[in-house]
Amino acid sequence: MPTGPPLERGADFDLSEEQRQVRRSVREFAEKEIAPHVERYEQEERYPLELIAKLAPLGLMGPMIPERYGGSFSDVLTYGIICEELARIDWVVASVVSVQNSLAASSILRFGSEAQKDHWLPRMARGEVLSSACLTEPDGGTDLGNLRTTAARVAGGYRLNGTKVFISHAAHAGLFVVVATLDRAKKHKGVTAFLVDPDNPGIEISNFPMRTLKRDNLAEVRFIDAFVPDESLLGEEQKGFPVLGSALDMGRYSVAARCVGQSQRSLDLSIPYALDREAFGQKIGEFQMIQQKIADMVCRTESARALVYRLGRMKDAGIERASMEASMAKLMASEAATKNALDGIQIHGGYGLSAEYEVGRLLLEAKALEFGEGTSELHRKLIAEYALGLRKQ
Ligand SMILES: Cc1cc2nc3c(=O)[nH]c(=O)nc-3n(C[C@H](O)[C@H](O)[C@H](O)COP(=O)(O)OP(=O)(O)OC[C@H]3O[C@@H](n4cnc5c(N)ncnc54)[C@H](O)[C@@H]3O)c2cc1C
């Protein structure tokens, strides 16, 4: 198994010794405990519960959850490094950590009541509860101000009605973060966030078939007059859009970090191949056109990593909303991951698409990261609006 280029790189130059140690130990864990099994889970279309179970004892289920709730939080940059290193080996395991921490735990920490924190966070940190974010609907995932899933006030709680699609981890989740609208006419001002127990009556979960990531078991989740009690409300009624904004801000950070890991992986697989494979009596890595691809892959990975680490440092400096920087990191890192997978496949020639080599699998998995937490089009629109002064952080 190639270990890739040296760990001490440009964007890492001022990591603390603790952060370097986290990187080394997560990389070692992922290479030893996860990598040998990923392909088998994908072929068997099996959700990797056994691999996920290995995360909590190492503190990897709650890197954004403070110690007083049983988590292992040290800083946001370290959390990004964890996501990067897990994603370098497995999209799904990294996604579990990213959804659990960025979308669920961070929202509960920022907007939840003390009772909600005490109820959910320790169980999430111990890995007893996995989370899903139920945001996207059949009619659209980008325009989240135009939700069709409704929440109606009833005695003691709410009744939810509607359908969510593409929901990662849903079949195994013990917590759904759900957004619904109390008043469709109010668009984003009617959006309300809930912490929902998936075992509540009226919630149906079915398979949502995909061409890729079959080990992720994406789901369609239907709410059919599903009752959720008052305690499920996250934040205030009709104040769910800021909850969503804050969750997606942190979500974009961890997705971008995962994309850096995927970009690095394509590179790590391509370098030894280019140094080994021969054509016309020489190593293909000696051909300038192959070298150009390697150079582009290195530059994309390092540029994306620099944007992601800067964003992590901004958050560690106490800047809660860095939405423009989050969009920049997510856009550049997700497109880097896709382009690196494409270049990696090209370097491998036909073997890039053979079942024997991992790099082919990375392509659609990287492409999926161009959608989650906002598409490239959405991020270009947001970045331009911030730059033009049409939108404020
Ligand atoms: C593997 C995978 C896992 C996922 N996991 C989850 C999950 O766990 N939870 C969840 O809620 N969702 C999840 N999603 C869904 C994802 O968040 C959505 O696919 C994404 O938000 C885009 O929504 P959509 O697919 O409905 O596309 P649409 O919103 O229908 O957009 C279609 C196209 O139009 C473009 N577009 C839309 N609006 C504009 C605009 N204003 N300007 C320019 N272009 C525009 C989009 O960029 C896109 O190219 C997942 C998706 C994938 C692929």
At 240-285, the pLDDT tens digits run 999 999 999 999 999 999 999 999 999 999 999 999 999 999 999 9
Which one is catalytic: 84, 373, 377, 385?
A: 373
Residue of 216, 375, 385 to mutate, ligand 1, most atoms within 8 A of C-beta:
375
Q: Please give the domain boundaries of the chain with CATH numbers for all domains.
A: 10-130 (1.10.540.10), 132-238 (2.40.110.10), 241-387 (1.20.140.10)
Residue nearest to atom 24 of ligand 1 (CA): 141
Please list the alpha-helical segments (H only) found in the chain.
17-29, 38-44, 49-52, 76-89, 91-98, 106-111, 114-125, 240-276, 288-316, 323-347, 359-368, 376-387
* Predicted pLDDT at 2: 40
Q: Is the CB of 381 under 6 A from ligand 1?
A: yes
Q: Is the CB of 367 under 6 A from ligand 1?
A: no
Q: How confident is the model at residue 45 (pLDDT cuts 50, 70, 90)?
A: very high
Report how far ligand 1's centroid is from the alpha carbon of 377 (Å).
Answer: 10
Counting atoms of ligand 1 from 1, which one is nearest the CA of 141?
23
* Predicted pLDDT at 3: 45
Q: Is the CB of 168 under 6 A from ligand 1?
A: yes
pLDDT of residue 393 exceeding 90, the answer is no
pLDDT digits (tens, 9 = 90+) for 185-230: 999 999 999 999 999 999 999 999 999 999 998 999 999 999 999 9
> Is 12 or 113 the better-scoring residue by pLDDT?
113
* Token digits of residue 38: 């990923």
Q: Is the CB of 133 under 6 A from ligand 1?
A: yes
Average pLDDT over residues 117-127: 98
Contacts by residues 23-28 (CB-CB < 8 Å, ≥ 24 positions apart)? 23/81, 23/85, 25/58, 26/60, 26/81, 26/82, 26/85, 26/86, 27/85, 27/88
Phi (first) and psi of residue 162, to 5 degrees: 150, 180
Phi (first) and psi of residue 70, to 5 degrees: 90, 5
Q: Is the CB of 147 under 6 A from ligand 1?
A: no
Report how far ligand 1's centroid is from the alpha carbon of 316 (Å).
Answer: 29
* Predicted pLDDT at 1: 39
Counting atoms of ligand 1 from 1, which one is nearest the CA of 374?
21
Which amino acid is present at 236? E
* Token digits of residue 336: 């880097």
Residue nearest to atom 31 of ligand 1 (CA): 142
Q: How confident is the model at residue 309 (pLDDT cuts 50, 70, 90)?
A: very high
pLDDT digits (tens, 9 = 90+) for 315-347: 999 997 799 999 999 999 999 999 999 999 999
The reply to whether 8 belongs to the active site is no
